[in-house]
Amino acid sequence: MENFLRLCLFLLCFETGFPLQCVQCQSYKNGKCATNKETCTTKAGEMCMIRRTWYSNEIDNLQAAETKCTNSCKFEEKTSGYLTTHTYCCSHEDFCNDINLPIMLT
C-alpha cells in the first residue's frame, strides 16, 4: 500500500508539471539581446514564447525579436506589407525559446 501511495504521489507531481526555464529579453539587435537578457521560470499554465519579425523575403535578416514566459501564447505567422511576424510557443524543454534555435515555420 505504501508503494502505491508513493506511485500516486509521483504521478501527481508528474501530471502537474515542473517549472520550465525560458529566455527573457524584450528586444534583440543583430541576434543579440539589446536589453537585459534574463531567465524566467514558468508558473502553472505558462510556457515559453519567442516572437520574431523579418522582411518577408529575407528570413535571415531578423528585424526584431522578443522572448519571455507567458500564459497567453498562440502559434502565429502574420505578414503585413513587407514584414513577417512569427510567434512560437513551447514547453517541451528548458530554453526552447532561445533566439539561436531554428525558426519553426507553420
Looking at the domain assignment, is residue 106 inside a domain?
A: no
Q: How many CB atoms lie within 10 A of CB 12?
A: 9
Looking at the domain assignment, is residue 21 inside a domain?
A: yes
Looking at the domain assignment, is residue 3 inside a domain?
A: no
Looking at the domain assignment, is residue 68 inside a domain?
A: yes
CATH number of the domain encompassing residue 52:
2.10.60
Looking at the domain assignment, is residue 99 inside a domain?
A: no
Residue type for 9, please?
L
What is the reported pLDDT for 15? 44
Between the alpha carbon of residue 80 and those of residues 26, 49, 53, 77, the distances in Å are 21, 21, 11, 10
Looking at the domain assignment, is residue 105 inside a domain?
A: no
Q: What does the buried/exposed string (b/e) look like for 43-58 if buried means 16 or more CB atoms within 10 Å of the residue's CB?
A: eeebbbbbbbbbeeee
For 56, list phi and psi in degrees, rounded to 5. Answer: -50, -35
Looking at the domain assignment, is residue 96 inside a domain?
A: no
In total, how many domains does the chain have? Answer: 1
Using a cut of 0.85, tell me whether the model's pTM lies above it: no
What is the reported pLDDT for 106? 54
Looking at the domain assignment, is residue 85 inside a domain?
A: yes
Provide the domain limits for residue 66: 17-90
**What is the mean pLDDT for each group of 10 consecutive residues in the chain (106 residues)?**
54 61 93 91 96 84 92 93 94 95 73
